[in-house]
Amino acid sequence: MKRCFIALALSLGAVPVQAETIAITGGKVAIGDGSAALENATVIVRDGRISAVGKVTPPAGARIIDATGKWVTPGLIAGFSRIGLVEVDGVAPSNDTAASGSPFSAAIDVAPAINPKAGAIAVSRRGGITRAVVAPSTGRDLFAGQGAVIDLGADDNAIMRPRAFQFVELGESGAATAGGSRAAAHVQFRNALLEARDYARNPAGYGGRDRDALLMRLDAAALVPVVEGRTPLFVHVERASDILQALELRREFPALKLVLVGVSEGWLVADRIAAAKVPVIASALNDLPAEFEMLAATQSNIGRMAKAGVVVAIGMINDNDARQARLETQYAGNLVALTRVPGATGLDWGAALAAMTARPAEILGLSQELGTLSAGKRADVVIWDGDPLDLASAPVTVMIDGVDQPLATRATRLRDRYLNLDESQKPRGLAR
Amino acid sequence: MVFSKPALALTLAAALAACADKPPPRTASSAPRKDAVPTAYPSTYKPYPGVATVIRNATIFDGEGGRIDNGVVFLSGGKVSAIGGADTPVPADAVVIDGAGKYVTPGVIDIHSHLGNYPSPAVAAHQDGNEMTGPVHPDVWAEHSVWPQDPGFSRALVNGGVTALQVLPGSGDLFGGRSVTLKNVPARTMQAMKFPGAPYSLKMACGENPKRVYGGRNQMPGSRMGNLALNRQTWANAQEYKRKWAAWKAKGAKPTDQPKRDIGLETLAGVLDGDIQVQNHCYRADEMAVVIDMAKEFGYKVAAFHHAVESYKIADLLRENGICSAMWADWWGFKMESYDAIDENIALVHQAGACAIVHSDDENGIQRLNQEAAKVLGDARRIGINIAPEVAWTWLSYNPAKAMGIADRTGSLKPGKMADVVLWNGDPLSVYARPEKVWIDGALMYDMDDPKRRPVSDFELGQPGEGDAK
């Protein structure tokens, strides 16, 4: 979204907003890579990128933001969400997550459906989320379609990376869409990838549903970069055996770039996931056998997987994923709390933060751009009024690509209207 | 969240008496109907055995807004025996726990839960919280759907320090049925969890759910005005039912002339008699105001509005009418009537002097109600409202206990009350704290350091992860 912003500014002959140098001084700075926070450190932002972090002197002319007594972190990345696709979940016309009436599946691309003005973008931004993985939900097929990486800036271009991944449901949900069994889901999955190969070999000769093939041409085309390993495949699985079956998919389709999502029973097979070098975007606090595929769910899941060497980020799948990614900081704090619970496994503070910063960036292949406060990366920076993982804290400043973002939301406007409502002043009291 | 089930239940709060276990004192207005109703489904709850225990050197929130630093709590005979400063006298032979750096609070009470009614796993065969075969079902009782083996009960205990909870029917129906208040103990039967003497409440629902469920079947109610019309006719029927029984009583209550019992109207007559309070699922301010007037029209009491995401718009009205709001800290936008939710709702209700309660309506949220309160404190502070943590704890124990009619027995650490107590391993309004020990009626039900005290439900036995730290 930044690039568009710059282009627009230049075309108007204006000085790009981000063409400035900013020094955030005196704060407790967490790099986001898993390391402990640095006391009284400075973050220098130049032209929308981080240029230096640590005990550095602000360059002459820099705009100084005094962060004394505050915390500074990278912008958080919602590891798995549906932010921007929904205004009100229960109001169907405002909900673009799934299309059960569409003949298409893998070809569906969320990018044109993202609404940068969605309430959840403002609410999430206010919570320190600056980027989000946005996935479609499945309709009639296992394959939900192509998700995007977005930024949550207050401008009109949210898409950072369209068609960043393909999303597929295996496990209970996949079985249901495949006709009623996991076995059928695996046949459907194989068939789709084999047809994508057919399509890749000879697009003009591909019959689509005219012949034996089940995939529409566009769906087949969308799966070509998946089967060829150029586009990651996000796979939602929860049960340990489903996780192992997902890892097995690479026997037949060795190029697949797998990312597992959900993974409530991952701790049972953490060594296998680690050995396969497949990263995970996990639900953080699932601890109930909410479904039969989550019997072994425990809040220690992420801690145990991380300990086994799995790269784990926090995600929100099926957990108010269109609106509440801002709860990830609370979830991460809870993972830290587990380190003091006998028999449980949590994350230390730095690792818990990294599960929302460096780890998701790494999983998305965006480590060069996002995820830590390191020289050269995009200046997504959040200044917090307290420990970012604790409950009473909130951002006071959110920057995306070095641009200060508004933190007001529709809810804060409602709050302000009613905070000191004087009925005697009606209608002025209700005025904007 | 519960949005997926049309179950968003509402709440209830109980009123004066009238539970089946302990008939209320008779008053002139009390219906003779009760003479014909045997004590039904009585509680068989018996506290687990406990030992006299002293917690020293702890920070104590007493649940009614009080705080004692470096305090002492003494539990014996299942009750809070003493609470005070470091010099509080305690017997020499009690078990002593050093609470240095730790916090003691009353057990958390969730006024709005569906545990046991919508248990885990959430398979179709377990969906027992919403009758939804007709919009008027005051005849159903949530307790008849409680599955004591729901693993959610133990999670609420272990991670949330929840010692008592009200299980409400869902909100698909206008009249959802009776609630049940439970002690959060492992048990074979619902009756063995049933809070002795806790009054019943009636769950009602306004807004989208009933009109969606029934309007979608082309039957009444199909609109908010339809909701009200059917509500009012039902209350009028209840008044007639009451009159019929009163007339029978006046004529000498001859068994041969006894009017036919109507199980649903019996509950509604109990509401009109003041024996059963109403817990009303309601999101929007304008609808709450209409319900307040309906309650006046028919002469009953709403104990609490549940969800109440717009209570901040009418906090003065709620204060004047003495109605609590049972709320989330930060849920919003999942349905149209939740669109105006604000993070400061609880703080603004509290600030206005109205009764605020933190509720869960969720098997995950019930494990972190203390964290919900902590989020509110931060949001309040940023708009200049400073609320002390010990005051915020009233939202988690005393206020829900009041609205459930059990505040004389639990909900705060006062001598003589049930020893429903949590020892937290740190500040419970920090994300980093967890329950270390939980007592219910003075019995140690959970101990973080003792794996044998991690409850494992029948369902979890022999399953992957059995007995794990959850």
Query: What is the distance between the alpha carbons of residues A151 and A133, in angstroms, rounded to a whole number?
Result: 9
Decide if A414 and B342 are in contact by the 8 Å CB cutoff: yes
User: Which residues in chain B are contacts of A240 at CB distance < 8 A?
Assistant: 464
Q: Are B468 and A298 an interchain contact pair (Cβ–Cβ within 8 Å)?
A: yes
Distance from CA of A266 to the nearest CA of B (A): 12
Give the pLDDT confidence score for residue A9 in this predicted structure. 37
> Touching check for B123 and chain A: CB below 8 Å?
yes
CATH number of the structural domain spanning residue B119: 3.20.20.140
- In this complex, do A88 and B336 lie within 8 Å of one another by their Cβ atoms? yes
Interchain CB distance below 8 Å, A411 and B464: no
pLDDT the model gives residue B25: 40
Test B459 with A123 for CB contact under 8 angstroms.
no
Between residues 41 and 80 of chain B, which touch chain A (CB distance below 8 Å)?
Answer: none
The verdict on residue B452 lying in a domain is: no
Q: Is B335 on the interface with A (CB under 8 A)?
A: yes
The DSSP element (H or E) to which B302 belongs, if any, is strand B302-307
Distance from CA of B196 to the nearest CA of A (A): 28
Kindly list the domain boundaries of chain A, sorted by start residue. Answer: 1-74+372-432, 76-370
Mean pLDDT across B268-289: 97
Chain B interface includes A36 (CB < 8 A): no
* CA B385 to chain centroid: 27
Residue B205 located in a structural domain: yes
Of A90, A119, A338, which is closest to B336 when you measure between CB atoms?
A90
Q: What pLDDT is stored for residue A306 in this prediction?
A: 98
| B156 inside 8 A of chain A by CB | no
B451 near A CB under 8 A? yes
Q: What is the pLDDT of residues B161-212, one digit of tens each?
A: 999 999 999 999 999 999 999 999 999 999 999 999 999 999 999 999 999 9
Tell me the pTM.
0.94
- Nearest-Cα distance to chain A for B342, in Å, is 5
pLDDT score for B18: 30
**CB atoms A330 and B123 under 8 Å:** no
Q: Are the Cβ atoms of A289 and B344 closer than 8 angstroms?
A: no
Q: Give residue-wise pLDDT tens across range A275-314.
A: 999 999 999 999 999 999 999 999 999 999 999 999 999 9
Give me the number of domains chain B comprises: 1
Q: Which residue of B has its CA nearest to A291?
A: B121
So what's the pLDDT on residue B333?
Answer: 97
Contacts of residue B364, Cβ cutoff 8 Å, sequence gap at least 6: A285, A288
Q: Chain B 363-402, CB below 8 Å of chain A: which residues?
A: 363-364, 367-368, 371, 374-375, 377-379, 381-383
Average pLDDT of the residues of chain A: 94
CB contact under 8 A, A340 and B469: no
Pairwise CB contact (< 8 Å): B334 & A323: yes
Closest Cα of chain B to A131: distance in Å? 20
| Three-class DSSP labels, chain A | CHHHHHHHHHHCCCCCCCCCEEEEEEEEECCCCCCCCEEEEEEEEECCEEEEEECCCCCCCCEEEECCCCEEEECEEEEEECCCCECCCCCHHHECCCCCCCCCCCCCECHHHCCCCCHHHHHHHHCCEEEEEECCCCCCCCEEEEEEEEECCCCCCCEEEEEEEEEEECHHHHHHHCCCCHHHHHHHHHHHHHHHHHHHHCHHHCCHHHCCCCCCHHHHHHHHHHHCCCCCEEEEECCHHHHHHHHHHHHHCCCCCEEEEECCCHHHHHHHHHHCCCCEEEECCCCCCCCHHHCCCCCCHHHHHHHCCCCEEEECCCCCCCCCHHHHHHHHHHHHHHHHCCCCCCCCHHHHHHCCCHHHHHHCCCCCCCCCCCCCCECCEEEECCCCCCCCCCEEEEEECCEECCCCCHHHHHHHHHHCCCHHHCCHHHCC
The 10s digit of each residue's pLDDT in B36-46 is 444 799 999 99
Size of chain B in residues: 470
Supply the CATH classification number for the domain A1-74+372-432. 2.30.40.10
The residue in chain A having the minimum alpha-carbon distance to the alpha carbon of residue B152 is A288
Q: Does B464 touch chain A (CB under 8 A)?
A: yes
Closest in A265, A323, A411 to B343, CB measured: A411
* Interface residue of A418, A422, A423, A430 to substitute, partner B, most B CBs within 10 Å: A418
Q: Mean pLDDT for chain B?
A: 93
Which pLDDT value is given to residue A11?
36
Residue B269 touches chain A, beta carbons under 8 Å: no
Measure in Å the smallest separation between the Cα of A44 and chain B Cα atoms: 27
- CB–CB of B150/B120 below 8 Å? yes
User: What distance in Å separates the CA atoms of residue A53 and residue A51, rounded to the nearest whole number?
Assistant: 7
Confirm or reject contact between A408 and chain B (CB < 8 A): no
Contact between B464 and A336 using a beta-carbon 8 Å cutoff: no
Distance from CA of B387 to the nearest CA of A (A): 12
pLDDT single digits (tens) B320-361: 999 999 999 999 999 999 999 999 999 999 999 999 999 999
Domain membership of residue B267 (yes or no) is: yes
CA nearest B450 in A: which residue? A342
Check residue B30 and give its pLDDT: 38
Portion 187-246 of A in contact with B at CB < 8 A: 240
**A295 contacts chain B (CB < 8 A):** yes
Which residues fall within 8 angstroms of residue B212, CB to CB, at 6 or more apart? Answer: B6
**Residue A184 C-alpha from the chain's centroid:** 30
Are the C-beta atoms of A29 and A179 separated by less than 8 Å?
no
Cβ contact, residue pair B123, A418, below 8 Å: no
From chain A, pick out residues whose CB is under 8 angstroms from the CB of B341.
411
> What CATH number matches the domain at A76-370, 3.40.50.300, 1.10.357.10, 3.60.15.30, 3.20.20.140?
3.20.20.140
Chain B residues with CB-CB distance to A268 below 8 A: 464-465
Query: Domain range holding B224?
Result: 2-35+108-402
User: Pick from B122, B333, B469: which is nearest to A290 by CB?
Assistant: B122
Name residues of chain A where pLDDT drops below 70: 1-18, 211, 425-432
- B363 chain-A contacts, CB cut-off 8 A: 288, 290
* CB atoms A89 and B3 under 8 Å: yes
Q: What pLDDT was estimated at residue A421?
A: 78
